[in-house]
């Protein structure tokens, strides 16, 4: 009898612990309480190791934070001075409230004098990256969530080794979980040649530091501080369409010149500092940009300590004509879900493209539960049929938002991401054209057909959505 009382007391303590730390996130708290109910002890241990709220501050001293704040202030002043003479007010006033929000994002300002190239698939993007790396003279900074030791990975490896041997400073960052299958031999060959490497939250250390749930999902290449690449592509043969399961791989990636490159560089070097402890602020890494482009671009880095939920919510609620979304994963925050329903009531054309072939079945089942709810509200969904769509794009009237972040809770709250806001002009129009091209190889998901799914499929979606705050 005594052990029953003890077990019950222990269970109550576990419940109280979760409620105390998750009361500000009721959806997440509810899921963890369900996990605790089903797996009383194992569930609590899982919560301790996975659900810890991210806190970056202890990793940085006050002196280090001061260094980064001063550098950021200097870069912001430089970019704003250049932007003042180039901002075209009529192109960014989609909504006065939205403009106020975008202009006051603390991470980075709206930058001017940019030239952007959009890539819709891997082959052309990787050739451009490799070409820029081959032409480098001073430094190469590379950061990816997934880095594989396959044919594409070997091309990057050989080129980075060659440039390091030529005297170019080469730094490589990879995520400990995303690149968990990367062999030690690959990294050793790079290090032996003089390439500096860093692992963002190594798998084992992340487990014991209770940071297993936080991943660096960014994809960044910066060459000589003058040209940058970012978007949805990782380094692996599947991103060239060579995985037989998915076939053609549709993605969105960018190369950019201009002041926006300074913020790709800043993001990489803050990540590098977090991983290695090295503070790099030499002006040679932040050169005066030579680009004379006319594009306005705002680089937005995000993570568990600086989410982009408010930004995406604002893009949705400010739209007057169209909201086009492409995403491989579609698991929404309640606020964004309500904003999309409200957009339909305002008469906004809302269309969303999701994969026809999933790469993660549980996530896809959760996605379908949101599809069902939004179909009833009037949102139009399309299932991509040509291969696998990995592009992450939001188009809101004359603004476009794209980069590494998926339209799911993990990307918007738990992962380190890098995106860009594009203001009007040719880049937005190109992304709109790509969206319509993707519509041409997609099948519309009709509510009448969707409701005919089997009872098992519907039930699976219900439980997947219930667990969705955890993945």
Catalytic (active-site) positions: 217, 219, 224, 390, 392, 397
> Are the C-beta atoms of residues 141 and 222 closer than 8 Å to each other?
yes
- The two beta strands, 169-175 and 139-144, are parallel
DSSP string spanning 278-331? -----GGGSPPP-----EEEEEEEEBTTB-SHHHHHHHHHH-SSEEEEE-S-EE
Give the separation between CA 418 and CA 219, rounded to whole angstroms: 7
Between CA 68 and CA 66 the distance in angstroms is 5
* CB-facing half-sphere around the CA of 190: CA atoms within 13 A: 26
DSSP run (H or E) holding 79 = helix 62-84
| Closest of 187, 163, 195, 210 to residue 45, by C-alpha | 210
Distance CA 352, CA 328 (A): 10
d(CA 379, CA 387): 23
* Terminal Cα distance for the chain, rounded: 38
106 token code pair:
């603390």
The answer to whether 191 and 197 have CB atoms below 8 angstroms apart is: yes
Mapped onto helix, strand or coil, the DSSP state of residue 226 is coil
SS3 70: helix
d(CA 264, CA 141): 10
Nearest to 145 by CA among 185, 175, 167, 172: 175
List all residues 6 or more positions away from 290 whose beta carbon is below 8 Å from its beta carbon: 226, 257
Instruction: Give the number of other CB atoms < 10 A from CB of residue 43.
Output: 18
Distance (Å, whole) CA 117 – CA 119: 7
User: Could you say which DSSP state residue 219 is in?
Assistant: -
Express the helix, strand and coil content of the chain in percent, nearest 5 each.
Answer: 50, 20, 30
């Amino acid at each position: 009898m005594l052990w029953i009382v003890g077990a019950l007391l222990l269970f109550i303590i576990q419940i109280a612990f979760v409620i105390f730390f998750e009361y500000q996130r009721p959806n997440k708290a509810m899921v963890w309480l369900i996990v605790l109910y089903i797996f009383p002890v194992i569930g609590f241990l899982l919560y301790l190791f996975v659900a810890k709220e991210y806190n970056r501050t202890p990793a940085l001293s006050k002196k280090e934070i001061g260094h980064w704040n001063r550098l950021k202030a200097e870069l912001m002043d430089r970019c704003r001075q250049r932007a003042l003479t180039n901002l075209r007010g009529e192109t960014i006033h989609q909504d006065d409230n939205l403009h106020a929000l975008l202009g006051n994002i603390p991470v980075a300002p709206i930058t001017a004098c940019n030239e952007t190239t959009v890539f819709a698939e891997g082959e052309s993007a990787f050739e451009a990256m490799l070409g820029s790396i081959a032409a480098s003279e001073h430094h190469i900074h590379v950061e990816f969530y997934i880095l594989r030791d396959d044919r594409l990975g070997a091309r990057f490896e050989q080129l980075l080794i060659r440039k390091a041997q030529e005297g170019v400073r080469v730094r490589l960052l990879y995520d400990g979980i995303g690149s968990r299958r990367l062999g030690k031999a690959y990294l050793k060959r790079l290090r032996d040649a003089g390439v500096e490497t860093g692992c963002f939250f190594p798998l084992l250390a992340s487990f014991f530091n209770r940071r297993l749930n936080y991943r660096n999902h960014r994809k960044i290449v910066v060459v000589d501080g003058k040209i940058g690449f970012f978007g949805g592509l990782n380094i692996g043969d599947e991103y060239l369409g060579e995985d037989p399961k998915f076939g053609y791989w549709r993605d969105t990636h960018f190369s950019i010149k201009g002041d926006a490159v300074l913020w790709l560089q800043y993001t990489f070097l803050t990540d590098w500092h977090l991983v290695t402890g090295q503070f790099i602020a030499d002006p040679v890494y932040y050169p005066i940009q030579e680009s004379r482009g006319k594009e306005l671009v705002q680089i937005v880095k995000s993570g568990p300590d600086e989410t982009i939920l408010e930004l995406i919510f604002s893009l949705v609620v400010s739209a007057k004509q169209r909201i086009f979304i492409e995403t491989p994963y579609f698991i929404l925050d309640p606020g964004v879900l309500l904003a999309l329903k409200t957009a339909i009531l305002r008469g906004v054309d809302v269309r969303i493209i999701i994969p026809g072939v999933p790469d993660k079945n549980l996530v896809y089942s959760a996605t379908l539960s949101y599809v069902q709810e939004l179909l009833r509200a009037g949102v139009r969904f399309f299932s991509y049929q040509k291969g696998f769509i990995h592009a992450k794009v939001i188009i809101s009237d004359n603004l476009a938002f794209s980069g590494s972040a998926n339209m799911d809770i993990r990307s918007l709250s738990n992962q380190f991401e890098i995106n860009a806001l594009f203001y009007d002009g040719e880049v937005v129009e190109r992304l709109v054209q790509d969206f319509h091209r993707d519509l041409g190889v997609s099948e519309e998901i009709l509510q009448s057909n969707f409701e005919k799914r089997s009872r098992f499929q519907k039930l699976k979606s219900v439980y997947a959505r219930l667990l969705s705050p955890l993945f």
